[in-house]
Structure 1
Amino acid sequence: MASFISSINSPSPILTSISRSQSKRIRVTFVRPVRCDSTSPPPPPSNGGGSSAPLSGISTYGLCAGIGALGFLETGYLSYLKLTGGEAFCPAGGGGAGGCGDVLNSDYAVVFGIPLPVFGLVAYGLVASVGLQMARQDLPFGLSRNEGRAVLLASTTSMATASAYFLYLLSTEFAGTSCPYCLFSAFLSFSLFFIMLKDFSLQEIQKSAGIQLSVVAIVIAALSNSYANVPPQSPNINDIDLQPYKTEITTQSSPFAIALAKHLNSIGAKMYGAFWCSHCIEQKQMFGREAVKLLNYVECFPDGAGKGRKMTKECTAAGLEGFPTWLIKDQVLSGEQDLQALAQASGFDLQDFQPS
């Protein structure tokens, strides 16, 4: 009996095994649901959106507004000078030959009859205005943010295209010419273009590529058409290094030419010329090799021409406009003259001339 009671009170190995097994199962079933219920889907990776996008947008458009304002001031200054006939200040003496004055006053500074700085004034003003409104998130005329971005991209694309075109002209038509205003405006235009381009994703750029290429083509076609009839720029004398030389006079002097040359010399008449002047050579050939030695000829470039060489002080003081120039009894005769005209201007009496 005691053994029976003892067997009842003591746990059976089977029950103990079952109990432990159930306990394990219970722990598993309670632990696993808790772990599953507490797990949530991971948040999507950040793609630059959220609060960072507005901050980036404000920085981009504020920068566009600032750069546009700088360009507006520069082109406003140049537009004022162009419309009032003033001369721009060119640093380091660049206003003279080979300086920015040559560029700003050339035929390339006008597009369809309108001064080029006026176009720049409008373009920079548009970029500055739209950029400022975009930075404030207060676009006019009911424009959406994407429409404002499109306006800025199209404007800066046209400005960068025009700047590239003008830089090409500067390097070809005005080789060696310094133009700080041109370079500064080009720097501003390219800066605006790349700033706006960075604001667009690759997919957006691909979608708008057709429109952008159309803008580029229109700008190039318009400028090319405007400059179609512009004559090529003549080379600047400062870009030439011409050493002095003598041209042989091959014609024989007539008695009349010799007599006229003696008369011109006797009254102090002077012929101003330059060794490279073809009309001066033709004038000498008209007198002939004997008579030309009797003339009071003044060479205005005895040391050569170009590379900083200047006319002699005597020629500069005479205020010459071209070669040859005759100074006869306070009369100034510009250009090649025939012998009869020189005789009449000098008072040489043809009736008194008797050939030997």
Structure 2
Amino acid sequence: MTSSRLSERLAGQRRRGDSGSKWIRVAMAVLATIGVIDTGSITLKAWGVLPSLSCSSQGFFGCNGCEKVLSSDWGSLLGQPLSLFGFLAYAAMLLMAVVPLVLQGEARQTLAQPSWWGMALLGTGMTVFSAVLIGVMAFAIRDCCPFCILSAALSTGLLLLSLFGGDWEDRGQLLFRGLITALVVGVIGLGWAASVGQPAVETGKGVPPPVRAESTAATIALAEQLTAKGARMYTAYWCPHCHEQKELFGRQATEKLTVIECAPDGRNSQKELCEAKKIEGYPTWEINGTLDSGVKPLLKLAELIGYKGPALN
């Protein structure tokens, strides 16, 4: 009799506890749904299903829009847009939040606590990986995407709600599993971030250092228009100011410039052309038949050719 009453009391406590956390599941379902829409829209745009996204958020957290971030080397994984994996994570979070709400009886009780574990650990992984992506935007891409910031905020919110809503009898076990998950995701995420964006480059004598900066739509457009106008940049592979000029354009835009190597021992050297042009300093720009040496601000170059296109920063 005593054992039966104790079991009933414990069952009642579990029911009241799960009922008390019902609103947290609902809140998590709402956040996860927003995440599904956020990442799903980005994925559909990457696949060409959606023509465009309204993401020109000049001034929002200093962002210039999403295109630079989403089209960067960090915007895809395993040949698919990175947002697809975020979509799958949010969809899994949504299912774990909602399914125990719609089930009844023993099935509901069976899934209640495992779902909290799943949401807490998945939320931990999502939050840590989002932190890695924020770091990539800040230090590698040097721009940001409002959709990406929203996703990071949603991941953090889901993690906090899962920690608050679960019936954690052994918090030490929760802390241990959470730390292990965070460590594994952090190491994998940092390793991925470090390995991406390192294009295969030629190395050896006579080869200039690789350009690391990411280009914007504006710098690419400027480079294309400079080339169309017949502009040339005379450089030497060992010249630090030449590298500085290329970094202003970024890697993708630099590839569209007409760059003349003047060093005699440089790769694809055009020493004779440089001597014929009487090039004495590097870099030297030849625009509209006029030679002008030194690193040039992008706005100055744009002015010289009557650039028309996206605004240059």
Which category of TM-score, normalised to the shorter sequence, fits these structures?
0.5 to 0.7
> Which protein shows a greater Rg?
1
Equivalent in the alignment of 1:84: 48
> Structure 1 residues 87 and 173, CA, compared in 2 at 3 Å: closer, same or farther?
farther
> Structure 1 residues 174 and 150, CA, compared in 2 at 3 Å: closer, same or farther?
same
Shift of 1:208: 2.2
- CA distance in structure 2 between the partners assigned to 1:114 and 1:87 by the alignment: 18
Equivalent in the alignment of 1:53: 17
Equivalent in the alignment of 2:33: 69
- CA distance in structure 2 between the partners assigned to 1:188 and 1:71 by the alignment: 7
> Structure 1 residues 129 and 236, CA, compared in 2 at 3 Å: closer, same or farther?
same
- Which of 288, 294, 302 matches 1:311? 302
Equivalent in the alignment of 2:278: 288
- Which of 89, 94, 105 matches 1:128? 94
- CA distance in structure 1 between the partners assigned to 2:123 and 2:292 by the alignment: 51
- CA distance in structure 2 between the partners assigned to 1:316 and 1:92 by the alignment: 23
TM-score by length of 2: 0.61
- CA distance in structure 1 between the partners assigned to 2:152 and 2:44 by the alignment: 20
What one-letter code is carried by the residue in structure 1 that aligns with 2:156? F
User: SS of the residue aligned with 2:117?
Assistant: helix
Equivalent in the alignment of 1:195: 161
- CA distance in structure 2 between the partners assigned to 1:171 and 1:289 by the alignment: 38
Asked whether 1:223 is paired with 2:189, we answer yes
Asked whether 1:234 is paired with 2:213, we answer yes
What one-letter code is carried by the residue in structure 1 that aligns with 2:40? G
Shift of 1:70: 0.5
RMSD, aligned CA: 4.2
> Structure 1 residues 312 and 126, CA, compared in 2 at 3 Å: closer, same or farther?
same
User: SS of the residue aligned with 1:92?
Assistant: coil
Q: Which runs of 5+ in 2 are unaligned?
A: 1-12, 199-211, 220-228, 235-240, 244-258, 263-272
> Structure 1 residues 103 and 153, CA, compared in 2 at 3 Å: closer, same or farther?
same
TM-score by length of 1: 0.54
Shift of 1:220: 2.4
Match runs of 1:1-356 below 5 Å? 53-84=17-48, 86-92=51-57, 99-138=65-104, 143-175=110-142, 177-200=143-166, 203-232=169-198, 233-234=212-213, 272-273=231-232, 279=259, 282=262, 283-288=273-278, 297-298=289-290, 304-306=296-298, 308-309=299-300, 311-312=302-303, 314=305, 316=307
> Structure 1 residues 134 and 55, CA, compared in 2 at 3 Å: closer, same or farther?
same
Aligned residues: 235
1:231-268, Cα deviation, whole Å (9 max, x unpaired):
3541558999xxxxxxxxxxxxxxxxxxxxxxxxxxxx
Q: Percent identity?
A: 18
1:286-311, Cα deviation, whole Å (9 max, x unpaired):
43379x9xx961469999414x5552
Shift of 1:130: 1.6
The answer on whether the counterparts of 1:90 and 1:100 sit within 8 Å (CA) in structure 2 is yes
Shift of 1:121: 0.8
- CA distance in structure 1 between the partners assigned to 2:173 and 2:111 by the alignment: 18
- CA distance in structure 2 between the partners assigned to 1:115 and 1:133 by the alignment: 28
- CA distance in structure 1 between the partners assigned to 2:217 and 2:80 by the alignment: 30
